[in-house]
A and B are shown apart, each in its own frame.
Chain A
């Protein structure tokens, strides 16, 4: 399904590059090189949040709160890595130090200090039972305004459609071109497509991935030593 939708975009927009997305939506192979996908960077909620943090809608960013609780089959490292990159993406800044507490590869709490002075807090866990939708929230607090991807005074993700007939069902469709994919799959296909059509972005993605590798090393070092680690 992911490849089919990717092919649809490649054909429609006449992108001649051959691109093969893996079934889990984590990587794409282009011209013999495998590139990691950073799908959150094309997720519309994050592109809109970044826009508001940079176009003067929300000014004087002070702190960023990022969190996600997912299922036990999602490795904790993957959750931490994603949130670290979301912090980089939304703040437009690199980390200068971080402190991490990790419990049994099930939960992690971090404070990340960015070069811009923004302080990011990250809380992740993979403790949700299978029936539950992953819960996440991202919030930027500025001296003039805040931006958040959740409705005020709510805790769980809202859906676009609630069907109460037979078994209760919910739907959240976010992309007309890629209709039928859920939001995570849409982001994966969009990220793969973005790489297929932009060679410079492919190089940037490899560079971003290398930065994240170093940050993940720092997370492990901090968790193991109980110290703040400079980057």
Chain B
């Protein structure tokens, strides 16, 4: 049995999320409760509020707080070439299919600060597909999109990125793609010259392009099952027939309402192919 304090806190959390939706039209109502609560506890402590109700009052009356709130509400943990086996499989097994298209569109859904986008841009360039590919990098968080567009990462993250890149079958040196300056690695801006950065919500927005590949890794785990279904429905509608969907290493379409629209293409790497 839940304690009465936990019940009260749960009510306050639902009201806070509802308030953010009504006032600012950012809709977190169908996010997974457990991790959403963790992040809102961090926000509550950061703003020195005694309760979610107090945080709700602050958010409603001080619009300047919203950008910081979005930083707590969206998860921005990523790395370049995270799960190298995923990128190796993309390189060796998916790209031979994509190569048959005269022009390519790739959607990085929930791109956060851009690590995944740049990994794909480098991979596609190494495989000679850079010039015929257009990338769409979308997120709901404007601050994350700004970071993604800037392509500047702390230098101390580079050794991990470099090792991941090598394990992903990288054909060049990662250092070919960045300049080190003032403790940062600044990615070569030619990597994003064929990228459209855009504000797009998997909760409320529609399909905007027909694409051959969707990468949406470690985004769906923050959604409840209804919202997961909505997002995967968008991917299905956006993908061409025989298009590919890449998920995070522990995500699957196992419980999805759209499972029948996809077939596992590389089971361990969580790459699916649209069947219809």
Query: Do they bind each other?
Result: no
**B interface list, Cβ under 8 A from A:** none
